[in-house]
Chains A and B, each alone.
Chain A
Amino acid sequence: MKYTQLHKSPVFLKIMFVISVAIIFFIGGITFKHITVLKKSSAFVSNSYEVNAELERLISYIKDAETGQRGYILSNDKSFLEPYYNSRVLVRKSYERVSKLTSNSRTQQSNLKKLLYFINKKQNYLSKSLYMIEQGKFEKNTFKNYSIIGKQTMDSIRFKVEDMMKTQQMLLKSRQHDYKSTMNYTPLLIYLTLIVTLILITVAFIKMNNNLVLLKNTINTLSVANEANNLAEIVSRSGSWQLNLETETYTFSDNEYRLLGCEPQSFEASLESFLNFIHPEDLEFVVQKTKNILTENDLAPFTFRIIRKDGEIRYFRALGRMVSIASGDKTLIGTTSDVTEEVYAQNLMEERNRELEINNKELTAFNYIASHDLQEPLRKIETFLSRLISKDYNNLSKSGQQSVSSIQSSANRMRNLIHDLLQFSRTNKGEKVFEETDLNVLFENAKQELNQIIEDKKAIVESDELPILKVIPFQIQQLFINLISNSLKYSKVEIAPIIKINTRIITHNDEEFLPNHNSKYYKITIEDNGIGFDQQYAKKIFILFNRLHNKNEYEGTGIGLAICKKIVENHKGFILANGTHNEGATFIIYLPVS
């Protein structure tokens, strides 16, 4: 894994390149050295041949001198002496050339010195014998002597020259050996250099080609992503911008310009050019927000207004985050989105909420005040009526007494209605103070409240252990009162009512309709043996003012169970009713275990 990463990294390429150049330089250097050696060797070969040729020439000059002298002595013709005289200069020149050619060989130089001695000796004897003849003092013995010495010297010269040639030959041989071995290595080295260079070029080419393909693919992917991003920006009404922190230059996306109502890239991207669009009232706020971009490397989301090129005011929301891109440059990227619609929608919603709240409050207040104020005249009607009955009832005619009774029962019914309505509006009212309460106490209180009716009807009202729960105490007490009085009210005439309450804990899985955010519920069942009801009305009975019976049969306002439903809902619970006609009703309350 690490290897592949290294293999792909540009550092690897750089190392490869440096190594390659070093190898090529090394091999190139060696090759250059070899070629230089080769050049030297071939120069030496030609030098050796030249030395040999020159030495031959040197001997032939001396011979020419000897021959010329001999010719002169035999024929006494002075023209024979010409080569003899010339030879001195020629021999000197030839000697100098040989000396020059062999200047870098100490053996040859010392040989050459000896050769010079013999040459001088030879020339000396040649000139001596010539002088003797020219002077006419020819002495046979001396001449013979001179000739013998001359011949011996000539032989020495010849030997020396042969010696030198041999030496040169030997030197040449060793040189040729070097040359040969060098010649063996050189093509190999050149070939090697070529191969290595080729391999390196091929590797580099493959590598670069791969990178190029990769780059091309990346560019393709990028351009697709870029296009997708452009489309996404258009759809989502957002734009993006970048701030390169090294160069402190800005880039805006096309849609950023469109959001501002401008043609894409129609002006130079900069903080200043963007700030020009900001609503004057929000300018200070935005400047404050963007001031710390460079130090904090982050731009928390914030909303502000801008004025588009066409003068329209829009709401923008911007946020930014610091990223380090591959080149190591730190770049702050940010998005701006046009949230005008959202802002308007939110404002509208808030306004609606406020209106709703006000309406709700007014309604509650109205309900409360109306029912409260209605009590006042009703109370007077009843009080006057009670005085009328206690004082003048007997003075009234039969029908008058009938009417008074009717007025009384209507007034009574009205009082119940007002009382229940008040109760209902109190259940709706705001203050919902939840307290840890023992429901057994609330149940006992409820029973106490209904004591009179329970006694009158000889009813049995009992409950097993109720839980301790966080509830609004007076509401739960009211719930018990309403449910028990409901059961008492709809009891069978000839049978004493039995009302049983039992409680158990269930999980939300036990009942399909229970939501699963509360895992456990108390299921409180209130069961009676009254007249019951038809199951088809099970939902209807909880609706305000809904009654199943004629008010002459059973008195009731149609509010009691609506209050029960409201109370249970206030406690995030559920209430259901099951009824069987003439057999009894069961009310089931589900209260979440907090």
Chain B
Amino acid sequence: MNTDFINICLADDDEDDRLFFTDAFDELKMNTKVSTFNDGVELMNYLNNEDSVLPSVLFLDLNMPKKNGVECLLEIKKNEKLNGIAIAIYSTSSSEEHIEETFINGANIYIKKPNDFEELKKILSEVVTINWQYHTSGLNKDNFLMRM
């Protein structure tokens, strides 16, 4: 496939959120290719498929049917082939428990879904352009939650 694209995946059961997400990238006019999945099972099927192109950033909603975000996170981090993918948690919740749990299990950043479309665009563009290697080495609980 075309390696000029930045491959981005989103697993979110909410149709509106998926729409905001794809629209935001459309409007950002970055060199991205966005794939969305309706739940954790769909996402894992895709990732486990040998033909699939692995994303450079995976946005993971936490509250999903069938397989939730944390379960996906655990599975990905256990899988040697997949554990290099940068994972951004993308959730409505900003509760300490969720933040702590996903941080411990190896997520790279925690994004609280913003309530303003412009803000969403800003966040997404920033996340996509993060130098993950640099970010991950300096990661701690305080900068794990993304603040704008």
Contacts and interface: CB of A to CB of B under 8 A. Distances in A.
B20 interface: yes
Contacts of A384: 16
Contact of B20 (A376, A378, A383, A390): A383
Interface in A394-438: 415
Contacts of B119: 386
A387 interface: yes
Contacts of A309: none
Interface in A65-79: none
Interface string B67-109: 0000000000000000000000000110100000000000000
Nearest to B95: A372
Contacts of A390: 117-118
A380 interface: yes
A383 B115 contact: yes
Contacts of A372: 92-93, 95
A415 B114 CA distance: 12
B120 interface: yes
Nearest to A379: B115
Contact of A382 (B17, B93, B95, B116): B116
A382 B14 CA distance: 16
A285 B17 CA distance: 65
Interface residues of A, number: 13
Interface residues of B, number: 15
Contacts of B114: 379, 383
A375 interface: yes
Interface in A37-86: none
A316 to B, nearest CB: 49
B92 A379 contact: yes
B17 to A, nearest CB: 8
A296 to B, nearest CB: 53
B115 A378 contact: yes
Nearest to B113: A379
A232 to B, nearest CB: 58
Nearest to B16: A380
B115 A415 contact: yes
Interface in A355-381: 372, 375-376, 378-380
A383 B116 contact: yes
Nearest to A474: B96
Contacts of B16: 380, 383-384
Interface string B5-18: 00000000010110
B92 A376 contact: yes
Interface centre among A379, A382, A415 (most CB of B within 10 A): A379
A378 B92 CA distance: 11
Contacts of A386: 115-119
A390 B17 CA distance: 18
A342 to B, nearest CB: 42
A437 to B, nearest CB: 17
Contacts of A380: 16-17
3 tightest Cβ-Cβ pairs between the two chains A and B: A382-B115, A379-B115, A386-B116
21 contacts: A372-B93, A375-B92, A376-B92, A379-B114, A379-B115, A380-B16, A380-B17, A382-B115, A382-B116, A383-B16, A383-B20, A383-B114, A383-B116, A383-B117, A383-B120, A384-B16, A386-B116, A386-B118, A386-B119, A387-B117, A390-B117
Interface of B: 14, 16-17, 20, 92-93, 95, 113-120
Given A379-B114, A383-B120, A386-B118, 4 more contacts: A378-B115, A384-B16, A386-B116, A390-B117
